[in-house]
Structure 1
Amino acid sequence: MKIDIQSRDVFYVSDGTAITCETIGHVVLGQFPFNANEKTFPFVESKEKLEDLLREIEISFIKNGVKPLVFFSMVITELKEALLQSNCYGYDILGSLVQQVETDIQIAPVPQLQRSRSVSKDSDTYFDRIAAIEYTLAHDDGVTLKGLEKADIILLGVSRSGKTPTSLYMAMQFGLRVVNYPFIDDDLSRLRLLPEFEIHRHKLFGLTIDPQRLTEIRQNRLAGSDYASNEQCLHELQTVEALFRREAIPYINTSSLSVEEISTRVLEKAGLRRRLL
Structure 2
Amino acid sequence: MKRSAFYVSDGTGITAETLGHSLLSQFGSVEFSQTTIPYVQSNDLAREAVTRINQAAERDDAAPVVFSTLVHDDHREILHTCKGRVLDLFTAFLQPLEDELGVRSSHQVGQSHAIRDQQAYRIRINAVHFALDNDDGARTRHYDQADVILIGVSRSGKTPTCLYLALQFGLFAANYPLTEDDFDDLRLPDSLAPHKDKLFGLTINPDRLSAIRSERKAGSRYASPRQCEMEVRALQALYNKFNIPHLDATELSIEEISTRILAMKGLTRRLQ
TM-score tier by shorter-chain length is 0.7 to 0.9
Residue in 2 that maps onto 1:237: 232
Residue in 2 that maps onto 1:267: 262
Cα 1:221/1:276, change in 2 over 3 Å = same
Tell me, yes or no, if the aligned pair for 2:47 and 2:78 is still in contact at 8 Å: no
TM-score (norm 1): 0.86
Cα 1:56/1:195, change in 2 over 3 Å = farther
2: distance between equivalents of 1:48 and 1:150?
51
2: distance between equivalents of 1:142 and 1:150?
15
3-state secondary structure, aligned to 1:129? helix
1:75 aligns with 2:71: yes
Cα 1:12/1:217, change in 2 over 3 Å = farther
Q: How many residues align?
A: 271
1:101 aligns with 2:97: yes
Please report how far the alpha carbon of residue 121 of structure 1 lies from its aligned counterpart in structure 2 after TM superposition.
Answer: 5.0
Tell me, yes or no, if the aligned pair for 1:119 and 1:126 is still in contact at 8 Å: no
Query: Deviation per CA, 1:196-250, whole angstroms, max 9, x where unpaired?
Result: 2122112110111111222222223322222221111111111111111111110
3-state secondary structure, aligned to 1:224? coil
1:19 aligns with 2:14: yes
Cα 1:222/1:48, change in 2 over 3 Å = farther
2: distance between equivalents of 1:236 and 1:46?
56
Give the AA of the match of 2:163: L
Residue in 2 that maps onto 1:176: 171
Q: Which runs of 5+ in 1 are unaligned?
A: none
Query: Deviation per CA, 1:115-152, whole angstroms, max 9, x where unpaired?
Result: 13x86355211111111111111122222112111111
Tell me, yes or no, if the aligned pair for 1:159 and 1:182 is still in contact at 8 Å: yes
Q: Flag the structure with larger Rg.
A: 2
TM-score (norm 2): 0.87
The range that moved more, 256-265 or 10-19, is 10-19
3-state secondary structure, aligned to 1:217? helix
Residue in 2 that maps onto 1:143: 138
Cα 1:193/1:19, change in 2 over 3 Å = farther
1: distance between equivalents of 2:33 and 2:221?
33
1: distance between equivalents of 2:3 and 2:224?
34
Give the AA of the match of 1:25: G
Cα 1:76/1:219, change in 2 over 3 Å = same
Residue in 1 that maps onto 2:147: 152
Tell me, yes or no, if the aligned pair for 2:4 and 2:64 is still in contact at 8 Å: yes
Please report how far the alpha carbon of residue 255 of structure 1 lies from its aligned counterpart in structure 2 after TM superposition.
Answer: 1.3
Please report how far the alpha carbon of residue 156 of structure 1 lies from its aligned counterpart in structure 2 after TM superposition.
Answer: 0.8
Tell me, yes or no, if the aligned pair for 2:51 and 2:82 is still in contact at 8 Å: no
Which runs of structure 2 are paired with 1:179-218 in the superposition (5 Å)? 179-218=174-213
Residue in 2 that maps onto 1:225: 220
The range that moved more, 121-130 or 38-47, is 38-47
2: distance between equivalents of 1:157 and 1:62?
50
1: distance between equivalents of 2:228 and 2:44?
50
The range that moved more, 171-180 or 28-37, is 28-37
Residue in 2 that maps onto 1:84: 80
Percent identity (aligned): 41
Give the AA of the match of 1:98: L
1: distance between equivalents of 2:84 and 2:251?
30
2: distance between equivalents of 1:221 and 1:54?
42
RMSD: 2.5
Please report how far the alpha carbon of residue 52 of structure 1 lies from its aligned counterpart in structure 2 after TM superposition.
Answer: 6.2
Residue in 2 that maps onto 1:249: 244
3-state secondary structure, aligned to 2:149? strand
Please report how far the alpha carbon of residue 163 of structure 1 lies from its aligned counterpart in structure 2 after TM superposition.
Answer: 1.2
1:129 aligns with 2:124: yes
Cα 1:113/1:238, change in 2 over 3 Å = same
2: distance between equivalents of 1:266 and 1:276?
16
